[in-house]
Amino acid sequence: MPIRCLPLACLLCCLPIAGIAQEEAFTLESILQRFTSAYGGFRDADALSSLSVEGTIIQNGQTFDFLMRKKRPHSMRYRLSRGSNSIITGYDGSQGWIRTKINGEVSIDLLDHEAKRSMREQTRFESPLFRHFEKRDNEIKLIERITLGERKALVLEVIEYGSEVSRYYLDLETAHVVRVDQLDIEGKLIIQTLYRDYREVEGFPFAFEIETRVGGETRSLAKVNSINVNPGILGFYFVKPKG
């Protein structure tokens, strides 16, 4: 029904709702601008062109060393090692592969479609919240304000094209991501990731402790030892090795 046909009483009832919607939109815009600024939005879009992260990760009661390197636009290599054994996964922008070395035996295989798609997702440098007000590629809305432990947080729901729904929990004081919940199509929690111990490296904030939970139980706990911003990494480093 056109607005001009609505009775005056209906129009008056709609005014507060419209006002709230506009205020909410302004609040979301402000939150996203603050988030972008906190994560280096004042720099050129590609100021963070490559990254090297080293540390340890606990999985299934065992501790492994890890080395993760990424380079724009879509290259990544991740090594997980324990003693002389190692698993290296790589993606060069088109081809994904995995090299396994167990007790001296080496095998190299290509990743299947789903694993390669997941690897490509991990090559991203920014979250979908970053500079959203410039791109507006995804659907983002403010869900609620909550308290997590001793900190207050804002919860943003993100619907990305071709992906499941995610909820980002932003620290109200710093605008840092402190938690991300990945949900299925029914809204049930699949994976929960917690980000702690933020430190600044070359002007960029990084979480030095990352915990992943499934079904309420910790599946992995990664602790970063060092981060190198914009190291010189050549493209062939991400190409499938021959041996």
Q: Give the rounded percent of residues in the chain with a pLDDT score beyond 70.
A: 84
Q: Is residue 113 part of a domain?
A: yes
Report whether 56 contacts 66 (CB < 8 A).
yes
Is the predicted pLDDT of residue 1 greater than 70, yes or no?
Answer: no
Q: Is residue 91 part of a domain?
A: yes
- What's 199's DSSP letter? E
Q: Is residue 228 part of a domain?
A: yes
What would the DSSP string read from start to end of 161-183? TTS-EEEEEEETTT--EEEEEEE
Q: Is residue 56 part of a domain?
A: yes
4: confidence class by pLDDT, cuts 50, 70, 90:
very low
Q: Is residue 243 part of a domain?
A: no
CATH of the domain at 97: 2.50.20.10
Q: Is residue 4 part of a domain?
A: no
Q: Is residue 126 part of a domain?
A: yes
Q: pTM score > 0.75 for this model?
A: yes
Domain that holds residue 63: 11-238
Report whether 42 contacts 130 (CB < 8 A).
no
Number of domains in the chain: 1
Q: Beta partners for 157?
A: 141, 167
Report whether 63 contacts 57 (CB < 8 A).
yes
Report whether 90 contacts 240 (CB < 8 A).
yes
Helix (H) or strand (E) run with residue 77 in it: strand 75-82
Peptide linkage before 73 cis (omega within 30 of 0): yes
Ranking 129-138, 152-161, 218-227 by mean pLDDT, the lowest is 129-138
Q: Is residue 164 part of a domain?
A: yes
User: Residue 23 corresponds to which amino acid?
Assistant: E
Distances (CA, A) of 158 to 34, 163, 192, 233: 17, 10, 15, 32
Q: Is 203 helix (H, G, I), strand (E, B) or coil?
A: coil
Q: Give the rounded percent of residues in the chain with a pLDDT score beyond 90.
A: 58
